[in-house]
Chains A and B, each alone.
Chain A
Amino acid sequence: MPGLTDNLYLLTPEFALAGLAFLVFIIDLLLPEERKDLLGWLSVAGLLGVVALSLVMLPGKEATLYGGLLAVDGYSLFFKVFFLGLGVFIILSSIDYVKLHLNHPGEFYGLLLFSILGMNLMAQSRELLTAYISLELLSFSLYVMVAYALNNAKSNEGSLKYIIIGAFSSAILLYGISMVYSALGVTRFEGISAALSSITDLRPALWVGLALIMVGLGFKLAAVPFHMWAPDAYEGAPLPVTAYLAIASKAAAFALVLRLLSEAFVPAADRWDQWQIIVATLAALSMLVGNLVALAQRNLKRLMAYSSIGHVGYILAGAVALSTDSLLGANGIIFYLVGYSITSIVVFAALIAFFNATGQEEIPDLAGLADRQPFLAMAIAVSFFSLGGLPIFVGFTMKFYLFTAVANAGYLWLAGLAIFTSLVSLYYYLQVIRQMYIQPALAAPATDAADGPGEHPPAEPESEHTHTPSHHEPSGDYEPLPRPSALLLVVMVLGLVAVVGLGVYPAPLLELVEGASAAILPGG
């Protein structure tokens, strides 16, 4: 048996990431207050370095570390690069916001880096307690980040709810782990699957334990009926943190759930048949509640929260389709995660740009955005169309793959429900688009004289756009917004290119995704 530390070098990217986080904390102590945005750039450069390091060191490596606690394989490499990339984009879109609205930038970036480390380990762990500790590394960073707007009561309220529910769900998860251990005597995923398929007497402790684990993870995923914390935490958190919660933490939780299901539950085929019903119920409830309640939202962050609950439902529906002899379900889930994340980054970059310019985050505030800042309106519209699942955008492709997998697995009703709720979701996405394109801009507030130096010339390209002034009479009475900063523009343009590019030509990404899912479902 190899020693525990023989292939420790395979964790070099993780060590580098942890070192980077510490470096950010240390440099933060030395930098004067006005140079702190250097830390954001340092984090971005470091993350890119870690991506390069992983891509050089890890492809083709298949190994387990620490006696089977962590896996280095195609799946973990895929998610590592994915999470690091998400981190880069989240930091790029938050640098301006942090400078304008938040104190303590050093800790912001440092905590972000630590949480990315936790996400990487979540995708790698093949053992329940390791998975739990990685999850807590992510959650602890997020608890602090949600409360980052110190003087904002909503931020504090959201964080308090988040930390209480988070601690509660962690306790449930841990209790479940202990029950499973008491019944099976193992916590490794492959041990669980072996024990599940060979066990003859079904102890109640085992079922209770597995159920508690699912409930604990359900809280972390914000799947209905464990979703109540999500809207408040999303609304209270500063916008970049909301983006991070909605995108990265969700993707990481699914990376963990996907590996857990595929390695621990799916191989025990008889038991998995029974469990599919439960996952399917969670999926159906999440789709329905998330999308229906989203119809009633006025705040953009709450809208995104409920819409993300709906998306959790779709992805859980994909999890129902996991099986040992087909990769379709796993492929669909991973592709969906990537597509959803890229699209949401565009949405949130645009919302951050809008908030930086106006300080507003309600849906009616977006009225007339198409006239005030056409590019922002276009970015939001395209990404909402994508989230709603309209073709030529990645949203259509990802939903197509995922729902096909669900239908192929024999869950036609679930696929049908997913399509139906997608249509519902289109309604509230279109409501926002209607605000931006059809609703006239609210009359400019009487502060025109106040912004003298920062005044921007009225956007001239107005006339080039195929925009008919007929649908609102009081034309010309709006106040153009300043252009989004170059950083946010870069994020949005890259994101939009990916949203359209992956929608039209998803093959290269699908190839990578298949490699990743083959690593966790070797039978497929």
Chain B
Amino acid sequence: MLEDYFRQYGLIAILALVAVAVPTSMLAFSWLASRVGIRPANPTPVKLETYECGVETIGGAWNRFNFRYYLYAILFVIFDVEVVFLYPWATKFIRLELFALIEMGVFVAILLVGWAYAWRKRDLEWGS
């Protein structure tokens, strides 16, 4: 059984090879095409700009992000995980007993402490 399990890594290895081969072959083909003269080469500043979802780029790619994004991400993860647990619990709620309700209450209460902590420490306010 474990051998079968390890064999699956072979598939992953093939996938990895393909994943490397596709972009490499594209670049190689493009380079070849330019050598043969099929591909015209006339770069303009607009063409050479970083692609930013199609809109005009603002600033360099090396600017710093506000540290607060990180806090928001962490808070987001807290509630994300909460939903991951709440969802299966909610679908089976009818069949679960009182114990499960209490357990979920404890779980949500613990997360609430974290949230209240972030609120009280003014991490939800952008300005300060």
Contacts and interface: CB of A to CB of B under 8 A. Distances in A.
A29 B115 CA distance: 12
A26 interface: yes
A182 B5 contact: yes
B62 interface: no
A414 B90 CA distance: 60
B110 A5 contact: no
A22 B110 contact: yes
A29 B99 contact: no
Contacts of A182: 2, 5-6
Contacts of B121: 29
Interface in A143-192: 182-183, 185
B2 A5 contact: no
A5 B99 contact: yes
A25 B99 contact: no
Contact of A25 (B2, B5, B113): B113
A449 to B, nearest CB: 42
Contact of B116 (A29, A183, A185): A29
Nearest to A22: B113
A185 B2 contact: yes
Nearest to A104: B121
B5 A26 contact: no
Contacts of A29: 116-117, 120-121
Interface in B71-126: 99, 110, 113, 116-117, 120-121
Interface string A14-36: 00000000100110010000000
A185 B2 CA distance: 9
A29 B116 CA distance: 9
Q: Is the interface of A mostly helix, strand, loop or mixed?
A: helix
A185 to B, nearest CB: 7
A185 B3 CA distance: 12
Contacts of A22: 110, 113
Nearest to A23: B113
Q: Is the interface of B mostly helix, strand, loop or mixed?
A: helix
A32 to B, nearest CB: 13
Contacts of A26: 113, 116
Nearest to B114: A25
A25 B121 CA distance: 12
Nearest to B6: A182
A212 to B, nearest CB: 18
A22 B111 CA distance: 11
Contacts of B6: 182
B82 to A, nearest CB: 16
Nearest to A5: B99
Contacts of A183: 2
A25 B5 CA distance: 45
Nearest to A26: B113
Contacts of B99: 5
A183 B3 CA distance: 10
Nearest to B2: A182
Interface in B36-52: none
A185 B113 CA distance: 38
Contacts of B2: 182-183, 185
Interface string B29-72: 00000000000000000000000000000000000000000000
Contacts of A5: 99
A450 B15 CA distance: 74
Nearest to A21: B113
A498 to B, nearest CB: 37
A25 to B, nearest CB: 6
A183 B2 CA distance: 8
A126 B121 CA distance: 38
A26 B114 CA distance: 9
B123 to A, nearest CB: 12
B103 to A, nearest CB: 9
A185 B6 CA distance: 13
A433 B53 CA distance: 68
B100 to A, nearest CB: 11
B96 to A, nearest CB: 13
A282 B120 CA distance: 48
A25 B117 CA distance: 8
Nearest to A110: B117
A88 B2 CA distance: 48
Nearest to A8: B99
Interface of A: 5, 22, 25-26, 29, 182-183, 185
Interface of B: 2, 5-6, 99, 110, 113, 116-117, 120-121
Given A22-B113, A183-B2, A185-B2, 5 more contacts: A5-B99, A25-B113, A25-B117, A29-B117, A182-B2
Cβ-closest 3 pairs across A and B:
A29-B120, A22-B113, A25-B117
16 contacts: A5-B99, A22-B110, A22-B113, A25-B113, A25-B117, A26-B113, A26-B116, A29-B116, A29-B117, A29-B120, A29-B121, A182-B2, A182-B5, A182-B6, A183-B2, A185-B2
